[in-house]
């Protein structure tokens, strides 16, 4: 069967579509690099194929097509350790009128335990992780 012809957005991954469809207002979804630890009890959706495939930013962009997001949270270390990625992410968030919060990486890792799922990408860039907090479409 070919299901992708039924979808209106570009998100084809069944597990990720299912998680997004089940999310409510303020639920959190993490898009992560290949090394972020996934807390026990939090669902892992592993998209990683090889180094940088799929990439962090391309995954975030696709998720933002499907999920209403009101806020993003990421590690303040991204600004210093991965400035190009920081610029790409903050530009994307600004373009979509999404507010964000920068917190210490250790606090970020602690907050991932509150997420409905962690989406693991193949990204090898340090601190390529974001928590997306669901908004509403009305």
84 is in an annotated binding site: no
134 is in an annotated binding site: no
95 is in an annotated binding site: no
129 is in an annotated binding site: yes
Angle between helices 83-95 and 56-66 (to 10 degrees): 10
Spatial separation of the C-alpha atoms in residues 81 and 131, rounded to whole Å: 18
The residue from 25, 44, 51, 96 that is catalytic is 25
Q: Hey, is 77 helix, strand or coil?
A: helix
13 is in an annotated binding site: no
Spatial separation of the C-alpha atoms in residues 41 and 116, rounded to whole Å: 9
Reply yes or no on whether 25 is catalytic: yes
Sequence ranges of the binding site: 33, 105, 127-129
Which residues are known catalytic residues? 25
Sequence ranges of the binding site for substrate: 33, 105, 127-129
């Amino acid at each position: 069967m070919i299901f992708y012809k039924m979808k209106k957005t570009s998100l084809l991954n069944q597990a990720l579509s299912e998680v997004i469809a089940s999310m409510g207002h303020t639920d959190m979804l993490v898009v992560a690099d290949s090394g972020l630890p996934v807390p026990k009890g939090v669902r892992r959706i592993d998209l990683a194929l090889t180094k940088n495939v799929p990439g962090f930013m391309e995954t975030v962009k696709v998720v933002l097509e499907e999920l209403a997001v009101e806020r993003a949270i990421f590690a303040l270390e991204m600004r210093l350790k991965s400035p190009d990625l920081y610029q790409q992410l903050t530009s994307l968030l600004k373009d979509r009128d999404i507010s964000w919060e920068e917190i210490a990486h250790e606090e970020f890792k602690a907050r991932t335990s509150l997420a409905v799922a962690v989406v693991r990408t193949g990204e090898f860039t340090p601190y390529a992780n974001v928590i997306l907090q669901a908004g509403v479409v009305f």
